[in-house]
Structure 1
Amino acid sequence: MPDWLSLYYEQPIELTHGEGRHVWDAEGNRYLDFFGGILTTMTAHALPEVTKAIGEQAGRILHTSTLYLSRPMVELAERIAGLSGIPDARVFFTTSGTEANDTALLLATQYRRSNQVLAMRNSYHGRSFSSVGITGNSAWSPTSLSPVQTLYVHGGVRGRGPYAHLGDAEYIAACVADLEDMLGQTAGGVAALIAEPVQGVGGFTMPPDGLYAAFREVLDRHGILWISDEVQTGWGRTGEHFWGWQAHAGNGPPDLLTFAKGIGNGMSVGGVVARAEVMNCLTAHSVSTFGGSPVTMTAALANLTHLLEHDLQGNARRVGGLLAERLRAVTAGLGLVREVRGRGLMIGVELVRPGTDEPSPEAAGLVLEAARERGLLIGRGGTGGVALRIAPPLSLTVAEAEEGAELLGQALHAAQDHMTGRRS
């Protein structure tokens, strides 16, 4: 395996099986899972409806490719097109969010005949050559080479940066002015703006509601497309909305929407939704060998049906709100916690060196280890890896939310004690 392959924990753990919101490692330790394989186990581990659907489809046929008709693929495309909010929508399936964003860039640049792309600072859109080229988080961007010319604009990080001191309305106005100024300095027509409604790897940061609607007014004047990267925010995870873009819906849906992760509940599913005019702009043939696989499509259909029938979006709103409140309570007075933020079951906790406003990767590393020791798995992100990422399956119960908050509180106190004790 490559040296740059990231593993959590000083002593990495092997996860062998899971059920509901819990997983077990190879040594028999049980963990409450608050990260879900990077926001991928969306409904539950070993969800019976999904595992049954996978087994039945695998018993019929595993693979065909998009060269042949597939009923599960067509049915899932129809459902996603209807849910997307995009008029006259077309859906193309991929195997990951990286590949979905790759495809969206291909469509947008071809449609606009331009390789200039606007992206947000602190963003993350995948690990392919083109998606790394629009990633604004230096920790996840290993090369400056890119097939696109990327222009980074303000807005994705509310709590830090030159506009952090402004009120929401003034913040949006300043970001729009920055966008206008940026466009006034470009050499030609920009193809698209790609943005995560809530920045995932960026540490679950987000702008004030309405920012992208304000951006859209500017984009529309210039004919620039809006790509909403919903790989982490889609399917109701934010609680208040089914898609993250709906918090910024002043001018309607985006031109393109990318998705992945949670829809497959662990199976490799990604895709792009775009209005037909944009999706059909390619003039060369294309297929996907593994996108739209009968097994992954069947799993995604079963998972989406379960999510809708059990109103897991509503559960994310209710239990996520409770979890955020409990986390704010257990972190009150802790000097290493700068902010608890997020919405629904997508919550970030930003850490600093106790008693300062200095971001602390050390604190995040200590908390990650301390939480695992107590039976809780969480994620990590943000600039420099200073934010804890909390994103359990959307079926999380109230009791599990309270247990997780208590365990994380213990881990945070242990990390602060360690850091202040070493400094004294």
Structure 2
Amino acid sequence: MAEKAYIGPEAIIEKKKKYIMPCLGHFYKEPRQFVKGSMQYLYDSEGRKYLDCFAGVSVMNCGHCNPEITKKVQEQVGTLQHVCNIYLTENFVNLAEKLAEVTPGKLQKTFFCSTGSEATEGALLLASIYTGNNEIIALRNGLHGRTKLGMSVTGIQMWRTDENPVGGIHFAPNPYCYRCPLGKKRETCDLACANMVEDVIQTSTAGHPGAFIAETIQGNAGIVVPPEGYFQRVKEILAQHNTLFIADEVQTGFGRTGRMFAIENFGVVPDIMAVAKALGNGAPISAFISTAEIADTYTRPGASTLGGNPVSTTAGLAVLDYIEKHDLCQNASERGEQLRAGLREIQKRHAIIGDIRGLGLMTGAEFVHADKSPAAAELDDVLETLKDRGFIIGKNGVARNVMAFQPPLVITAEDIDNVLNALEMVLTEKKL
């Protein structure tokens, strides 16, 4: 069989300019055309191999083209692909049952859709239905989707494309200890950022907002991990005002942080949870999940044409089976500790790394100048060089200066050593 010919990066970029809306950018000055994936590795159109340390932004938790998952999906594609969820099929109720088993607390009933944006939008709708109040509190620097409401509750200006956001939304400071928005020190702050939620309710709302929404770990903000006790304090405040807590687990769910869901690291249970990305391991599926008491108030007709279709729910069931069978939560925890320990050693020799933070295999290394100002250009240069040497690493942060490690959870100890060694070499060569 003749080897397939690929049009290559330059031709793709030209077609993008002609046929794709200009809002969609791409990483790298010299991007590559990826044509194949195998577990934690990617391959480009010229046959080069890369260790993927970003997993398509926390999507491919079980690895690219995972044989165990792919086999089940292929079988389903050949049997029944779609009838819409207003007809009866088995997989979507089985997956909902499984989600009720693995989610924390009394989360039980699921509504399936296709994207993270739909899931967060649906979660906010459900909170409004249950509480009868559509006021929302969100966090600065949060990111919750590209729908009008999703953009409106997003606290990062670059992602708020709509210049006329939805009203009734109020923002509290985010728990960003390295750059505390309140100028506090972690050791003595007494969770001032959490206490500000009470202040926002008292001064900016009618007193009983319907929902508080937060990413358990803020991804696009730069892998911002709340301090211990943060969500517990917030939950106490919300309970006093009959406000529901929505955990946005779109990036953090399904083993990413060493627990099935990141919120399990913080000792609280949300009232509603939004999930997506890794649930399908590349198949488009998302969901919002709540308690029976809350979910049962959503009685007016609602459906999602492709939500919970047989193929995506097959993928979801296979993902949950694979995570449990291969103990990916444990691997995420161990490899994450190894990664952060290695980064801390590198930090001792390279002052460009100002902060290292994360849980499991969701880790950020913030690049800064001597005065702590963001070093975004330097990060871009390092990422470009690492790409040329076979390592795909992400970036995020409001200033786009945080190196983001969110690899497939099947990554090995040897892989972690390899990327750490490559990073050390690049930083040394560039005298950073």
TM-score of the alignment, normalized to the shorter chain, above 0.5: yes
1:374 aligns to 2:374 (yes or no): no
Number of the residue aligned with 1:80:
99
Question: Which runs of 5 or more residues in structure 2 are unaligned?
Answer: 1-19
Deviates further, 115-124 or 277-286: 277-286
Give the corresponding residue for 2:274. Answer: 258
Shift of 1:114: 2.1
2: CA distance between counterparts of 1:88 and 1:124?
23
Letter of the 1:404 counterpart:
V
Give % identity.
32
**Contact 1:226/1:255 (CA < 8 Å) preserved in 2?**
yes
Q: Is the 8 A contact 1:176 1:215 kept in 2?
A: yes
Which residue does 2:319 correspond to in 1? 303
- Cα deviation for residue 113 of structure 1 reads 2.1
SS in structure 2 of the partner of residue 170 of structure 1: coil
Counterpart CA distance in 1 for 2:227 and 2:414 is 31
Letter in 1 for 2:199: D
Amino acid of the structure 1 residue aligned with 2:130: Y
TM-superposition CA deviations, 1:148-193 (whole Å, max 9, x none) = 4221112331210344542356341x12331221111134221111
How many angstroms apart in 1 are the aligned matches of 2:103 and 2:183? 32
Output the amino acid matched with 1:273. I
**What is the TM-score with the length of structure 1 in the denominator?**
0.93
1:242 match: 260
CA distance in 2: counterparts of 1:325 and 1:166, whole angstroms:
23
1:328 maps to which residue? Answer: 344
- 195-204 or 84-93, larger mean C-alpha shift: 84-93
Q: Offset at 1:135?
A: 0.7
Partner of residue 13, structure 2: none
Q: Which moved more, 1:144-153 or 1:387-396?
A: 144-153
The aligned runs of 1:5-44 (5 Å cut-off) are 5-44=24-63
Give 1:233's aligned amino acid: T
Deviation at 1:248, TM superposition (A): 2.4
Aligned to 1:111: 130
Q: 2:374 aligns with which of 347, 351, 359?
A: 359
* Cα RMSD, aligned residues only: 1.6
Q: 2:180 aligns with which of 139, 161, 177?
A: 161
What is the aligned partner in structure 1 of residue 283 from structure 2? 267
Equivalent residue letter for 2:51: L
Q: What secondary structure sits across from 2:179 in the alignment?
A: coil
Shift in Å, 1:375? 0.7
Give the SS at the match of 1:142: coil
Aligned residues: 412
User: Contact 1:330–1:406 (CA<8 Å) still a contact in 2?
Assistant: no
Q: Does 2:168 correspond to 1:149? A: yes
Q: TM-score, normalised by structure 2?
A: 0.92
Aligned amino acid, residue 93 of structure 1: F
Q: Is this contact kept in 2: 1:117–1:148, CA < 8 A? A: no
CA distance in 2, matches of 1:165, 1:225: 27
Equivalent of 1:338, from 349, 354, 359? 354
Q: Find the aligned partners of 1:269 and 1:315 in 2 and give their Cα distance.
A: 24
Secondary structure, counterpart of 1:245 in structure 2? helix
Counterpart code for 2:193: C
Distance 1:112 1:30, change over 3 A: same
Structure 2 residue identity aligned to 1:328: R
Whole-angstrom distance in 1 between the partners of 2:44 and 2:214: 35
Change (3 A) 1:153 1:15: same
Q: Does 1:278 align with 2:327?
A: no
1:266 counterpart letter in structure 2: G
> How many angstroms apart in 2 are the aligned matches of 1:307 and 1:177?
36
Work out whether residues 23 and 31 of structure 1, in 8 Å CA contact, stay in contact via their aligned partners in 2: yes
1:108/1:414 CA distance change after superposition, 3 Å: farther
**Equivalent position of 1:319 in the other structure:** 335
- Segments of structure 1 that go 5 or more residues without pairing to the other structure are 418-424
1:398 aligns with 2:417: no
Q: Which amino acid aligns with 2:406?
A: A
Give the drift of 1:334.
1.2
Contact 1:49/1:303 (8 A) holds in 2: no
For residues 287 and 81 of structure 1, what CA distance do their matches in structure 2 show? Answer: 20
Equivalent-residue separation in structure 2 for 1:236 and 1:305 (angstroms)? 12
Helix, strand or coil for the counterpart of 2:257? coil
CA–CA distance in structure 1, aligned partners of residues 175 and 193 of structure 2:
10
The structural deviation recorded for 1:145 is: 2.0
| Farther off after superposition, 86-95 or 62-71 | 86-95
What's the CA shift for 1:139? 2.1
Q: Is the 8 A contact 2:177 2:186 kept in 1?
A: no
The DSSP-based 3-state class of the residue aligned with 2:228 is coil
Amino acid across the alignment from 1:337: I
- Aligned AA for 2:262? G
User: Per-residue deviation at 1:256?
Assistant: 0.2
C-alpha distance after superposition, 1:326-369 (max 9, x if no partner): 1221232212111111111001010113x221112212211221
Secondary structure of 2:349's partner?
coil
Match of 2:196 in 1: 178
Query: Contact 1:99 / 1:270 at 8 angstroms: preserved in 2?
Result: yes
Secondary structure at the aligned position of 1:159 is classed as: helix
Closer, same or farther: CA 176–200 of 1 in aligned 2, 3 Å: closer
Distance change (3 Å), C-alpha of 1:165 and 1:414: farther
TM superposition shift of 1:283: 4.2
